[in-house]
Chains A and B, each alone.
Chain A
Amino acid sequence: METVLRKTRRRAGTFVLALSIAASLAGVPVAAQEGHPLKGSWIGTWGPNRNQGNDLLVVLNWDGKNITGTINPGTDNIPVKNATLQPEGWVVRFEADAKDKAGKPITYVLEGKLGNLPLPNRTLTGTWKNQEESGVFKLARQ
């Protein structure tokens, strides 16, 4: 008779195997980053809603006092400014100055929350807005 533990182990083994295969296919390490929660490269999408989105890369760093980094929607790196992390609720906010297609200056404001904090697939999801548009974004830490 298969024991509960063996079943659990078998399921866990299957899960770990599936996770490992998925991770190797995706080229990402299955290990949590244990330092500052925002540090690292975040890849995902942003767009007007959850069904439409363009690729977005955000790279964040922590020097002990300030969160710095860049945001890249596929064109060029735009420095992040006024970045904050509120530990209570893991609320993240940052801004980036850019230009629209007509060359007019715009400021993006992104606000979101960290999810899956202890896990390798940590997420950062929330909303963005500028003077003309708004939408949602979803990022996963690589």
Chain B
Amino acid sequence: MTSGRARLFGMTLTAVLMVAARLAAHHEILAKFDDHKPVALNGIVTLVDWRNPHVHVFVNVPAAAGVVNWAIELEGPIDLQRSGWSRDSLRPGDRIHVEGIAARNGSHQAWGNSVVLRATGKSVYAMTLAPPAPPLEQRPTPRWPDRQPHLGASQGGSQGYWAFPSVTALAEGNSAGKIAVPMDTWGLLRNIADAPKVAPMQPWALQLYRERQKRFLRDDPMYLNCKPPGGPRQFQLAYGVQFVEDRDRRRIFVLMGSGNNNYRIINTDGRGHAGQVGGDDDNPLYYGRAVGKWEGDTLVVDTRGFNEDFWFTNGGLPHTDQLRLLERFTRTDFDTLKYDVTVEDAGAYTRPWSSSSTLRWVAGEEMPRHLCQDNRS
């Protein structure tokens, strides 16, 4: 590898690791917990509730009025298992020390930033998720016999899926190595004053976006009602996506690892945007109607006909049924998928705007199976 390429690779890896370290599966933690209310607890484990979407450890903590049973919320079973933990990593009777942040509603619940076994000083249920180790050398884009790039696993090759997005929320000007507006993994702005910089929103959309942000994204329909992650959001979530290319019928399935485990179809057979473009009550279009065509090594997808019942990106940018997405998928090498999207929605934005990100190939693994449960994310 040349030194320039190595430097670029190193920078990309650093950026990916920075995002990956903060990747989490479920709701915005700050929607429920207050990072200005730190708690430190010593107590005895009474139960490990190892269930989707979040694991809870219940701890009896001595208090003035006797004993208080605290619920310590942790990441989901999938993430903890992938970090090497199981339901038996803690057992009832274990004495632990917990540090975290308390629930906003004043109940005896806390988000656990660290859990330590007091007998041994060993940290448990710590997240160590990271993207797969990079190959020593950049591998070429896999191709079909007609030289068209594979978007999914190649025939005879190992299985895999795309995950570890470089950017986890849309903002105008985002690119693989640049986050245009500082925000957390769920799209919560570091500074609410940055709201107008995120996208060229109409006044009503900007005000609605601000209010969603001020409520810490707690009204997100994907978590409250298991609404699908339509639009670019499908490429922003923790459990990734998988492309299944049905070349016989000239269509591509995009399977979601997150959300409610459903899929989107991109038709590449030359059809137009048939049907009732706006969708209707009997046929709600969370993923719109997508038609794609190859331009060189890039799959260009034009999607219209979305309903208004979901958030199309982490962070809660509004949209209307006038939303049209122009997406470009380019597998720049074996391990990298570049995703560019232009958002057109005259109902919510003053002009079209664009954002870019990359996804990382996770080789040799099945996509995690996350099941959404209403109002429990």
Contacts and interface: CB of A to CB of B under 8 A. Distances in A.
Contacts of B308: 33-36, 39
Interface size class of B (residues with CB under 8 A): 35 or more
B71 A3 contact: yes
- Most B CB atoms within 10 A — which of A33, A35, A63? A35
B212 interface: yes
A76 B251 CA distance: 48
B318 A34 contact: yes
A113 to B, nearest CB: 13
B370 interface: no
Interface residues of A, number: 27
B309 A33 contact: yes
B204 A36 contact: yes
A31 B204 contact: no
Contact of B347 (A31, A36, A85, A88): A36
Interface in B42-81: 47, 56, 58, 69-71
B347 A63 contact: yes
A31 B375 CA distance: 12
A118 B220 CA distance: 9
A8 interface: yes
A32 B219 contact: yes
Contacts of B374: 16
Contacts of B69: 1, 3-4
Contacts of A33: 308-309
Contacts of A63: 347
B246 interface: no
Contact of B221 (A4, A8, A32): A32
A34 B375 contact: no
A34 B346 contact: no
A64 to B, nearest CB: 4
B197 to A, nearest CB: 18
B237 to A, nearest CB: 18
A12 interface: yes
Contacts of A119: 219
B287 interface: no
B207 interface: yes
Nearest to A120: B225
Interface stretch (B120-128, B179-187, B266-274, B319-327): B319-327
A117 B319 CA distance: 15
Interface in A9-34: 12, 16, 30-34
Interface in A68-105: 85, 87-88, 90
Contacts of B225: 30-31
A31 B307 CA distance: 12
A126 interface: no
Contacts of A3: 47, 58, 69, 71
Q: Top 9 A-B pairs ranked by shortest CB distance?
A: A35-B308, A87-B207, A5-B71, A118-B219, A64-B346, A64-B347, A35-B320, A87-B204, A4-B108
Interface of B: 47, 56, 58, 69-71, 107-109, 202-204, 206-208, 211-212, 215, 219, 221, 225, 227, 308-311, 318-322, 346-348, 374-375
